Amino acid sequence: MSILKTDRILVTGGAGFLGSFVTEKLRERGYTDLVVPRRRDYDLTRQDAVEKLYRDHDPAVVLHLAAEVGGIGANRDNPGRYFYANAAMGLHLIETARERRVKKFVQVGTICAYPNLTPVPFKEADLWTGFPEVTNAPYGIAKKSLLVMAQAYRQQYGLNAVYLLPVNLYGPRDNFDLQSSHVIPALIRKCVEARIRGDKQMSAWGTGAASREFLYAEDCAEGLVLAMERYDKPEPINLGNGREIRIKDLTELVAKLAGFDGEIVWDTTKPDGQPRRCLDVSAARREIGFTADTPFEDGLRKTITWYEANRERIVAKG
């Protein structure tokens, strides 16, 4: 069943970091009826609130981006909350989508669902070969359970639910709170603040030996909209650019671009997390024609520029 430009599209998390780019992409493509629920109005971890959301807006398509998530420290501090919130949101949203016979349900998963020692590059078939890295396993498993649910609902009820696995995201509008942010916004904030204070040193988590792949949020939004429009199969699809960088090299690059020329001191009492992350992105190219366009240094510069322009407001929030 094709998606029409006039179909009502519900974007959970549409006011957030990734969601704001997704809603912009949808509008650029001519979709005219978007619903972006806010947490103050609908607590998606509660079944009654989700049912009310569907009754109030009657969407034809659902893009489920909303999540409770953070970096290594936040995952370590909130394992129970992250499991419950992410599992509950997906559980209620998918079940109610089935009941209301929506045309399409797009579930955004997480790279944290992959086993800790997944061979690089990560292939979608590797999802079930082992246990996730322990610091983010509750979050990763909660999200991976929604892949099983989506596939089961497709098999039994005919729900057209698809599942995407974005790699680590970065970009303007990200979360720069040092208590819950991911690595790139945390490094940007640390480097900019250290430069402004004139610090001679800056601390960074772990050893720097781990590696990550990063996807510019606007590129990810393009991939999600393409999947909504073009993909109708049960198998999950990775979204990334297929390029890997060590955290040590990333930290030095961010410091250079942010103008911090002091010493980087590695706090080895803090965990590195999963040893390596880099995706096989061939399925995304083949199935939906997606290729990430933003060069990494360009994306970092745009993110640093955005942080500096919004720094006073962000710092004032804590």
Q: Which of 139, 216, 231, 307 is flagged as catalytic?
A: 139
- Grade residue 74 by pLDDT with cuts at 50, 70 and 90: confident
Element (H, E) at 168: strand 168-170
Could you report how far apart the first and last alpha carbons of the chain are, in Å?
A: 47
Whether residue 305 is predicted with pLDDT greater than 80 in this model: the reply is yes
Name the CA radius of gyration of the chain, rounded. Answer: 19
| Mean pLDDT, range 120-141, rounded to an integer | 95
Determine what percent of the chain is predicted with pLDDT higher than 70.
100
Residue 247 CA to residue 291 CA, distance in Å, equals 23
Identify whether 139 is a catalytic site residue. yes
265-276: pLDDT as tens digits = 999 999 898 899
| Mean pLDDT, range 107-129, rounded to an integer | 95
pLDDT of residue 69: 85
Least confident of 32-36, 157-161, 224-228, 311-315: 311-315
pLDDT of residue 76: 87
pLDDT of residue 73: 82
Whether residue 246 is predicted with pLDDT greater than 90 in this model: the reply is yes
Whether residue 263 is predicted with pLDDT greater than 80 in this model: the reply is yes
pLDDT of residue 62: 98
pLDDT of residue 1: 73
Map out the domains of the chain as residue ranges: 8-171+214-242+277-293
pLDDT of residue 37: 98
pLDDT of residue 207: 96
Residue 7 CA to residue 201 CA, distance in Å, equals 53
Nearest to 62, CA basis, from 3, 128, 123, 127: 3
Fold that domain 8-171+214-242+277-293 belongs to in CATH: Rossmann fold (3.40.50)
Q: Are 135 and 77 in contact (CB under 8 A)?
A: no
Higher-confidence residue: 74 or 189?
A: 189
Whether residue 181 is predicted with pLDDT greater than 90 in this model: the reply is no
What's the chain's average pLDDT? 96
